[in-house]
Amino acid sequence: MTACQNSINDMSPAANSGARVGADGAVSFGMGNIAILNYAYALEQLETAFYYTVVEKGTFKNDPTTEKIFKDIHDHELVHREFFKVALGGNAIGELEFDVSSIDFKNQREVLNIARVLEDTGVAAYNGVGPYIQLGSTPESKAAALLYLNLAGKIVSVEARHASLISSILQPNGGLFAGDYVVNNMGLEASLTIMEVLGRAGKYIKTKIDPSSLISLTM
């Protein structure tokens, strides 16, 4: 954990500061590269919580193949979540609280559609903030930043495969899934702003979020 922590701190020391909780109880992601990584960490927490609930509620208990797929995706998201937690160390936000009570976990179609939205949103969120990673001015900071960019790229490729797999379950006969995500973004390789991501995912996040440091970073 110490090695990961040092690498994160080396990414852009002048710009980075850890997560904070404001006087109003809102969680701030921190500054610079730390904010971007905490943002990804928050989304991985949400996805892990969602898939855990799907498995716990037995949504697909009568469909062993799909149930195994959701268990496997949960395990992937758990690895992603723990990676960011360890990498961020003392700069990490805490464990967020989620409220998924609006989801009918007995409705398989609804759960599949929400899974698709969460995965598509996750991919677009990574695409949206990736260009703002700061390389820093020293060889150490550049090497660390490139390392985490590479790892984030691997994670987002897994998220994209999740999205593709879920879409194939929803539309087993092939072809593009004609959802508003694809149509409105004119393709599959889309990106979303922080506020667009929170507009989709925020309704499931019970913890109050202060996204101002991220918004200022991308302006």
Residue 183 confidence (pLDDT):
40
Of residues 143 and 111, more confidence is placed in 111
Q: Give dist(CA 97, CA 206) in Å, integer.
A: 5
User: For 178-190, what is each residue's pLDDT tens digit?
Assistant: 444 444 444 456 7
Q: For residues 197 and 90, what is the distance between their CA atoms, to the nearest angstrom? A: 25
Using DSSP bridges, classify how beta strands 27-28 and 20-21 pair: parallel, antiparallel or unpaired: antiparallel
Is residue 170 within 8 Å of residue 177, measured between CB atoms? Answer: yes
Task: State pTM to two decimals.
Answer: 0.83
What would the pLDDT profile of 69-115 be if each residue is shown by its tens digit?
999 999 999 999 999 999 889 999 999 999 999 999 999 999 999 99
Query: What domains, with CATH codes, occur in the chain?
Result: 2-217 (1.20.1260)
